[in-house]
Structure 1
Amino acid sequence: MKKLFCLLSAAFVLLTATPAAQAQKFGYIDSEFIMGKMPAYAQAQQELNTLSTNWQKEIESQKKDLDKLYRNYQSEEVLLTEPMKKKRQDEILKKEQDVKAYQNKIFGYEGQLFKKRQELTKPVQDQVFEAVEKVAKKKQLGIIFDKSGDLTMLYTNPIHDYTEFVMEELGLASEDRNQPAQKGAVRTVTKPTTPAGDSESDEAPAPAPRKPATRAPRPGAGKN
């Protein structure tokens, strides 16, 4: 995916080096994140992992055969004549070269695994690239570069991140993206309850009438 956006990255550098760059709208995406959400990419990766595992098993089997040849030579070396030793040594050397050549053919630069990865991931990369072009046209962007590419990004302002827009074009956007937040539970104020035995009326109960205080009789009162 890095190669898909290397030209865009280079163009970004050129644009920012000129005064006209100030009028250019630009943005960035994370291609690795996008492809990681694509089922076709996951299927391609699974197939590549299976192929890689099988090829690795073949190489390990060849290495075991090579090791067996070497151990047999060591155990029989004292019994062999010089011509026989030379023949066995050449046989071991050729086997070793064959194993290395096969390993390089499979896992080396532009080997079978490399070519198979290009074959399986190119359709996915093409889909992403087409979605990027659509987003660039809709948002009138002069350039979109790849956050996961070769261009080192020391700081990125999220306002320029168009990853989600590309995912929308691919039908992979999050369902809760740009959706209003859910309303919280409605909270009501509960009226304080009155103590047991008091009136349930909203008004405060009237105070009970005060009884007049009684005075003790004076000494001698009521006598003639």
Structure 2
Amino acid sequence: MKKIFLFTVLLLTVSISWSQRSQTIAYIDMEYILENVPEYLEAQNTLDEKVVKWRQNLDKEARFIEVLKTDLANEKAILTKDLIEEKEEEISLKQDELRRLESLYFGPKGDMFLLRKQLVKPIQDQVYNAIQSISARKKYDFVFDKSSELVMLYSNKKYDISDLVLGTIDRTRLVDEKNAQRNAPRELTDKQKQAVVKRETAVAKNISDREVKKKAANENRQALLKKRNEKRDLLRKKKEALKKKKEKQKKEQENQDNNN
């Protein structure tokens, strides 16, 4: 609503100042432009693949929690109060871990935000730079985005500069590629090699840290499962011992009754 209000005020301002000089307005369709930039499609596919993987990890953890809840519900009648509280605490910890992992993936400063910024922002910058260049050359006073929340009740196709923006991006890409090929050294300098090694080391460390965290989480889960199984075995043995004791007492009582 606020954007619509600002847009209306802007149109009124343009109308009032129209008598002073002619205003030149154009518009773009950002969705159309991005869908026709190969780098954007590749970036979006990479992001989508990551999101699917993250969702699978979260679903796996959620299913594990449901198994713990089901096991507790089925065994609650034969468990002691201490065991019940311990299992409930284990479930609570797992739920906290799931929320933390979800925030790590999809939080305000999570992996999805950072990856989107890394992959998509450079492409959006290309689009905005192209718009700036065209606006300066064509002397446009305003350029609107047709695909944004601003309401365009009517748009004449001749004022659509989306294809012009795409053409500018393509020409810029070709120039950059030619300059890169022309200026590319045949062999990396020592400084560049050090930078490459440093970057690869940082990437390897990041991967290693994640693997360590993942391994620690798996070990913690296995330890909890082992502890739970040990308590189940202990409880089963106690029940069997109690049953045998009762049977022995019953048999002794029967023998005593027979002797009497």
Please give the range of the TM-score, normalised by the shorter of the 2 chains.
0.5 to 0.7
After superposition, the C-alpha distances for 1:29-77 in whole angstroms (9 at most, x for unaligned) are 0111111111110110111011111111111111121112112212221
- 2:121 matched to which residue of 1? 122
- 2:12 matched to which residue of 1? 17
Equivalent positions of 1:59-70 (< 5 A) are: 59-70=58-69
CA contact (8 A) 1:12 1:145 kept: no
The structure with the larger Rg is 1
Report deviation, 1:107: 2.4
- 1:81 matched to which residue of 2? 80
CA contact (8 A) 1:66 1:95 kept: yes
CA contact (8 A) 1:15 1:21 kept: no
Alignment root-mean-square deviation, CA? 2.3
Report deviation, 1:109: 4.1
**Separation (CA, whole Å) in 2 of partners of 1:73 and 1:121:** 46
- 2:191 matched to which residue of 1? none
**1:24/1:14 Cα in 2 relative to 1: closer, same or farther (>3 Å)?**
farther
**Separation (CA, whole Å) in 2 of partners of 1:13 and 1:105:** 40
- 1:149 matched to which residue of 2? 148
**Separation (CA, whole Å) in 2 of partners of 1:135 and 1:105:** 40
Query: Which SS does the other structure have where 1:27 is aligned?
Result: strand
Equivalent positions of 1:32-181 (< 5 A) are: 32-171=31-170
**Separation (CA, whole Å) in 2 of partners of 1:132 and 1:161:** 12
**1:10/1:106 Cα in 2 relative to 1: closer, same or farther (>3 Å)?**
farther
TM value normalised by structure 2:
0.58
CA contact (8 A) 1:30 1:146 kept: yes
Letter in 2 for 1:16: L
Percent identity (aligned): 28
Query: Which SS does the other structure have where 1:152 is aligned?
Result: coil
**Separation (CA, whole Å) in 1 of partners of 2:154 and 2:23:** 19
Report deviation, 1:152: 1.9
CA contact (8 A) 2:37 2:166 kept: no
Query: Which SS does the other structure have where 1:86 is aligned?
Result: helix
**1:166/1:94 Cα in 2 relative to 1: closer, same or farther (>3 Å)?**
same
**1:134/1:74 Cα in 2 relative to 1: closer, same or farther (>3 Å)?**
same
After superposition, the C-alpha distances for 1:148-202 in whole angstroms (9 at most, x for unaligned) are 1121222212122111211221228xxxxxxxxxxxxxxxxxxxxxxxxxxxxxx
- 1:210 matched to which residue of 2? none
Query: Which SS does the other structure have where 2:112 is aligned?
Result: helix
Number of matched residues? 165
Which structure is richer in relative contact order (CA contacts within 8 A, separation 6 or more)?
1
Query: Which SS does the other structure have where 2:149 is aligned?
Result: coil
Report deviation, 1:102: 1.7
Letter in 1 for 2:64: D
TM value normalised by structure 1:
0.67
**Separation (CA, whole Å) in 1 of partners of 2:10 and 2:139:** 15
**Separation (CA, whole Å) in 1 of partners of 2:6 and 2:136:** 17
Report deviation, 1:147: 0.8
**Separation (CA, whole Å) in 1 of partners of 2:6 and 2:88:** 57
**Separation (CA, whole Å) in 2 of partners of 1:81 and 1:109:** 42
Query: Which SS does the other structure have where 1:150 is aligned?
Result: coil
Report deviation, 1:108: 3.8
Structure 2, unpaired ranges of 5+: 172-260
